[in-house]
Amino acid sequence: MVCSLRDYLRMKHIFFSAIVIVAFMAGCVDSQETRSGAQSVMSQAEPDRLDALFSHPSPDSIPGGQRGEQIRLGYQLVVHTQEFAAPYVGNRLTCANCHLDAGLDPNSSSFVGLSRAYPEYRARTGRVVTLADRINECFERSLNGKPIPSDSHKLRAIVDYIEWLSKDVPAGSRMAWRGIPRIQAPKPPDTTNGAKVFTSRCAFCHGADGQGTMAAPAVWGPQSYNIGAEMARIPVAAAFIKSNMPRTRGWALSDQDAYDVAAYINSQPRPDFPDKGNDWPKGGKPADAPY
C-alpha cells in the first residue's frame, strides 16, 4: 500500500517537531569536501547567524491545487523512485534509501532546509549548482541512472517537495543537521573485521551477498550505487552507518566497527561512474575518493 504524504507526515510530526540536532557534517548524502571551503566555514565567519530548529511543516499546510499535487508527487518520487521515475534509475535504490524517512530524518542528509542552501558552489563539479542540478547528480551517481530533463514536471516536483519541507527554516540560518554527523575511526579501517560486522549486523536485511532483500537495498553489485556516489567514500558511508544502522537502532555500532564495515562494503564490486574524469576540475579532490 502506498502511504499518502499527509498520513506519513502526521506520523512523523510526533517525533520531529521542533527538535535541535547538534552535529558536524560529513556527507546524497553530502560532504563538506564537495562544497566550497567558504560554505564549510560559514558558521565560523558569521557568528551572528541564527541556529535553525529542526522542524518540518505540518501536513495541514500542504497547499491545495496544482502546487499541492506537485508536492505530493515529489514525495512519491522520493519514496517510490522505482515506480515514479523508472526511466531515470539504473539500480534498485530509491532516494529514501539514503535520505531516510522521505528526507525527514535529521541524521541522514535531511531535506529539511536544503532548498535554503542552493544555489551553491560545489568543488566536485567546479561550479555553482542549483537544487535541481544536485538532485540529478544523485540520479546519475547514487541511483546509477541518468538525469531527469530540466523541464520535466517530475524534477520540478522533487524540488517543490524539498522547498515545502524547507519553508519554515529561516533563510541564512545555520542548519546543524545538514549532511551526516561526522565520526572518526580510532584505527585505520579493517575490512576483515568489517566482513564480520556485516555478517553479524547487516546481512540479515541486506543479504549475505550484499545484493539486498525485500527489507533493504543492495549495498554493492550492479543494483547498488556507483563509485561516483558520496556513499562510495568510506568516511561518508561510515558516518551514515553509525547514525542509522541497523535500521531503527542507529548508534549501535562503535565508530571503529562503522568504519570497518563501510570499508568492507566499499571494497566490493560496484558500477563505474563514466564521467568521473570530470570531477574536481579545479582540484581539491578528497583523499578518500575511490577514483
Express each pLDDT in 242-285 by its tens digit: 999 998 777 899 999 999 999 999 999 999 999 999 999 999 99
Does CATH number 1.10.760.10 belong to domain 191-276? yes
- 178-195 tens-digit pLDDT: 989 899 999 999 999 999
Domain limits, CATH 1.10.760.10, in the chain: 5-165, 191-276
- Mean of pLDDT over the chain: 87
Predicted TM-score (pTM) of this structure: 0.85
- 66-82 tens-digit pLDDT: 999 999 999 999 999 99
pLDDT at residue 46, rounded to an integer:
44
Identify the band that residue 1 occupies on the pLDDT scale cut at 50, 70 and 90.
low
- 157-183 tens-digit pLDDT: 999 999 999 999 988 888 889 989 899
Does CATH number 3.20.20.140 belong to domain 5-165? no
Identify the band that residue 53 occupies on the pLDDT scale cut at 50, 70 and 90.
confident
Q: Which residues contact 110 (CB under 8 A, 6 or more apart)?
A: 54, 99, 103, 104, 177, 178
pLDDT at residue 2, rounded to an integer:
58
pLDDT at residue 95, rounded to an integer:
98
DSSP per-residue string spanning 84-149: HSGGG--SS--HHHHSHHHHT-TTS---TTGGGG-SEEETTTTEEE-HHHHHHHHHHTTS-S-PPP
Identify the band that residue 11 occupies on the pLDDT scale cut at 50, 70 and 90.
low
